[in-house]
Amino acid sequence: MSRFLSSRYRELVPYVPGEQPAGQTYIKLNTNESPFQISEKAAAKALKGTRPFRLYSDTGCVELRKALSRVYGVPAERIMVTNGSDEALDLAFMAFCSEEVPALFPDITYGFYRVYADVNRLPFEEIPLRDDFTLDLSDYDKKRGTVFLANPNAPTGIALRRGEIEAFLASRPDDVLVVDEAYVDFGAESCVPLVAKYPNLAVIQTFSKSRSLAGARLGFVIADEHLIQDLNTLRFSTNPYDVSSFTQALGVAVLEEEAETRKNCLKIQENRAWTTEMLTELGFSVLPSGSNFVFARTGKMDGEALYLALKSKGILVRHFNNPRIRDFNRITIGTMEDMRALESALRSILA
Ligand code: PMP
């Protein structure tokens, strides 16, 4: 730390992203990326369709919002595009939390929520999940504040039903609910159909997982138009050119291949079922997952030791140094080839 760092940030503990190793080739099952490439046709189309790079990108992201509007059946005024869904989350913390309106989220969830609260100097409360890592929405009943729920949750993979979320929303009309649906396409129920009915709901999604564009950085929000206006106020006060022309063109091209996206998501669900069975057979307990990863522990080995043993065999998974979940590893679902390599590494480690 230099002596020039603002006193506001001296205590800040930044988010630690999963490893992105350069040089050595690992089977990467640590950051929930898609194992599938976008089609060559979509990539070529995006290159051709890009607005000239000498011009700034379209701050309104008009073509991309039109394409999202077509795919999700939601008017474009209820859609906003961001640089990854991380940016959308940051804007939501800024827009909808304050000294009087704390952020509320589970103790075990996406680690960035805490960092967004900290960096924006917002009060927050972490509400413990049950012992089995399910979420009891009634724990939030007596608490005022903006609730952030990842659904499915990360790193547990456990999903709430849309009906439960709707009852919760209806019970707290004066508080905003942000539902982070980064993993929703792998079998959970989206809250997008609720947006027309609830002015206090913001749904955040990403192109990073089901649409294989983690490196392009593209996320979006679907919400009541007044909430979208608020988020845009913050967006235009921080980085209005947040989504590059190339990324916007990529998003449009990938949305033209929805059948491909659905097919990839089904493949991941099949591979997840196979992986869950394989891990169970090896003695792991695996939480029920609605996402493109599983969260698993073995009674035979400490979570960190297993992570290190897999790494030494060329397979990266994600281990979190949090006392409640330190026995677990989060394993991204890849191709069947990746999953078979995982099986053989695990068999030799556990033998
Ligand atoms: N939400 C959750 C729950 C995540 O796990 C991630 C991925 N790290 C994100 C949001 C952010 O994804 P991106 O910024 O790539 O859209």
- Would residue 64 count as lying in a domain? yes
Best residue for ligand 1 mutational test, from 32, 85, 93 (most atoms within 8 Å of Cβ):
85
Ligand 1: lining residues by beta carbon, under 6 Å: 84-86, 110, 150, 154, 180, 182, 206, 208, 214, 219
Q: What's the pLDDT at 319?
A: 97
Q: How many domains does the structure of the chain reveal?
A: 2
Packing angle of the helix pair 112-119, 84-96 (nearest 10 deg): 50
φ and ψ of 269, to 5 deg: -65, -40
Residues 73 and 203 in one domain: yes
- Would residue 2 count as lying in a domain? no
Q: Which of 257, 280, 305 is the last residue of a domain?
A: 257
Q: What's the pLDDT at 29?
A: 97
User: In this structure, which residue's CA is closest to atom 12 in ligand 1?
Assistant: 85
Q: What's the pLDDT at 126?
A: 98
pTM score: 0.97
Residues 249 and 340 in one domain: no
Residues 131 and 110 in one domain: yes
Q: What's the pLDDT at 24?
A: 73
pLDDT band at 2 (very low <50, low <70, confident <90, very high): very high
The CATH number linked to 326 is 3.90.1150.10
Residues 97 and 167 in one domain: yes
pLDDT(42) > 90: yes
Ordered DSSP codes for 88-131: HHHHHHHHH--SSS-EEEESSS-THHHHHHHHTT--EEEEPPPT
- Would residue 44 count as lying in a domain? no
Ordered DSSP codes for 31-80: S---SSPPPHHHHHHHHHHPPPTTSPP-TT-HHHHHHHHHHHT--GGGEE
pLDDT band at 19 (very low <50, low <70, confident <90, very high): confident
For 164-217, write each residue's pLDDT tens digit. Answer: 999 999 999 999 999 999 999 999 999 999 999 999 999 999 999 999 999 999
Residues 219 and 285 in one domain: no
Residues 204 and 161 in one domain: yes
- Would residue 222 count as lying in a domain? yes
Residues 228 and 279 in one domain: no
Residues 237 and 318 in one domain: no
- Among the residue ranges 37-51, 82-96, 126-140, 263-277, the one predicted with the least confidence is 37-51
Tokens of 69: 């509007």
- Structural domain containing residue 21: 7-37+259-350
